[in-house]
Amino acid sequence: MTAVDAARLQFALLAGIHFSFVLVTLGLGPVVAVLQTRWTLARRADRRAVLERATRFWGQLYLVNYALGIAAGIVMELQLGLNFPGLLEVAGGVFGAPLVIETMAAFFLESTFLGLWVFGWHVLPRWAHTVSFWLVVLTGYLSAFTVMVANGFLRNPVGVTVEDGVVRVTDVGAVVTNPAVVVSGMHVVGACLITGGFLLVGVSAWHLRRAPTRLSGVVAAGLPGAVMSEENDVWRRSMRAGVVTGTLGSVLAIGAGFGQYAYVDTESSLANAPGVIGVAYGVMDMVGFLTFLVGSALLLLLVRDALFRMWRPLRRGLYGTLVVLLPVPFLTALLGWVAREVGRQPWAIAGILRTEDAVTDAPAGQVVVSLVVLVGVMLALAVADGVVLARLARRGADRVVLGAPPRAALVGPGPEIESTLTFGGTR
C-alpha cells in the first residue's frame, strides 16, 4: 500500500463513518423541532402530554448522536492536515474558509443554542425554549451547507483562478451558488430526511409490534393501562411523522439527484470506475424510488389509522419488515459518497490538482499508522453511538432523562403516575 492508497482509504473510511452521524443529526433535528412546536401550541392536556414525551424521547437520541458526532468531526478534520498538505497549500484559502465557518457555526452558535435547549427545560418560557431548538436546527444546516461549499469546490471548481500555483477566489457568489453545492446539498438533505424517517418508523414499529405484551405486563404490575396507551400513542405519532418525513425526503433526494447530472460528467465518471460508480448510482435510484412508492402506500394507510388497525398478523409482519429496513438509508448514503468521491479521481480538485500531488510525502508506513489510529478512534465513537442509541430506543418513552425533574429521572415514571392519580391528572 502506497502513501496515496493509505491516505485515500483513510479519508474514505473517516468521511463515511462521520457522515453516518450527520445523517441522523440533520434527519432527526427538524422532526424534534416540529414535535416541540406542536407541543408548545397544543391546548388539550392529553395531546400535550404525548407530544412532550415524543419530544423528550427523540430529543434525547438527537443529543447523544450530536455529542459523539462533534467528536467524530474533529477526527475528520485532523486527517486533512496530516495527509493532504498539498491540498491546503494550493487551495487552502478556498477550501479552508468554509471549514472554518463550519467549525465556528458548530462550536459557537449551534452548541450554544443546544446548551440553552438542554438546560432550559422547566426554566425558559416555552416559546423561547422552542425557538432555541429551531436555532440549533438552522445552524446545523448552515454548518452542513458550508461543508458542501468546500466539497463542491473540489468537485466543480468555479469562481476561482490559479495564480502561481495557488487557487484564488474571483467570484464568491459563484463559489457559494456552485451547482455542486446547491443541487448536491439538496440531495444530501433529502438523504438525511429519509434516514430520519426510517429511524422514526423503525423504532416506532419495534415498540408497536411488542405493544400487546408490554401492555399486559404493565397491567399485571398494577400500573394503569392508560400509561401504556399514552406511550403507544407516542409511537403512532412518531410513525406518522417518520412516514411523512421519509416520503418528502425521497422526493427531494430523487429530484436533486437527477439534477446533479447537469454538471457531473457521468460518462467520464463511469469510465473511471464502472463497477463502483455504476452500482452505486443504480442502488441509489432503486432505493429512492422504492422509498417514495412504499412511503406513498404508508401515507394512504394512515388515513383513518388503517396502518395501526389492520389484521394483527399482517400488522406485525409489516412492522417487523420496517424494523429490518432501518440500516438501508445509511448504506445507500455511503454508496452516494463513494460515487461522488471516486468519480472525481484522479483529481483532488477537478482539473487543477491531482490526488497524488495533494497527498503528503511522508513514508507509507507513517500514513498507515495514522489510518489505524484515527479510524480506530472513529469506529469507537460510532460503536458507542450505536450502542447508546439502541439502548435508549429499546427503553422507550416512559423513562427519559432529558427534560425530566431529577427525581423522575432516577426513579422512573412512578411519581408521575402517582401524581396523576392523586391530583386528578394535574402534573
Buried b / exposed e along 376-407 (16+ C-beta atoms within 10 A): ebbeebbeebeebbeebbeebbbbbebbbeee
In a domain, residue 407? The reply is yes
Dist. CA 280–CA 23, nearest whole Å: 18
In a domain, 401, yes or no: yes
Cell 485515500 found at: 8
User: 97-144 pLDDT, tens per residue?
Assistant: 888 888 887 778 888 999 999 999 988 999 999 999 999 999 999 999
CB 12 within 8 A of CB 338: yes
**Amino acid letter, 137:** V
Q: Grid coordinates standing for 74?
A: 474533529
- Across 164-201, the runs of DSSP E, i.e. the strands, are 166-169
Side chain identity, residue 398: D
**367 domain-assigned:** yes
d(CA 137, CA 118): 14
Provide the number of structural domains found in the chain.
1
**CA distances from residue 108 to 23, 102, 208, 343 in whole angstroms, order as listed:** 21, 10, 39, 34
- Tell me, yes or no, whether 14 lies in a domain: yes
d(CA 14, CA 78): 10
427 in a structural domain: no
pLDDT at residue 406, as a whole number: 62
Q: How far apart are CA 403 and CA 119, in angstroms?
A: 8
**pLDDT of amino acid 272:** 53
Predicted pLDDT at 56: 94
Q: Is 126 contained in some domain?
A: yes
Domain-embedded: residue 246: yes
Any domain includes 226:
yes
What is the reported pLDDT for 35? 96
Looking at residue 213, its pLDDT comes to: 43
- Pull the grid cell for residue 427: 402534573
Handedness of CA 405, 409, 411, 417 (dihedral sign): positive
Q: How many residues are there in the chain?
A: 427
Closest by Cα among 61, 146, 79 to 110: 146
Listed as ranges, residues in the chain with pLDDT below 70 are 212-229, 263-276, 406-427
Compute the distance between CA of residue 174 and CA of residue 163 in angstroms, rounded to an integer: 18
pLDDT confidence of residue 403: 84
Residue 140 is part of which domain span?
3-422
pLDDT at 411: 54
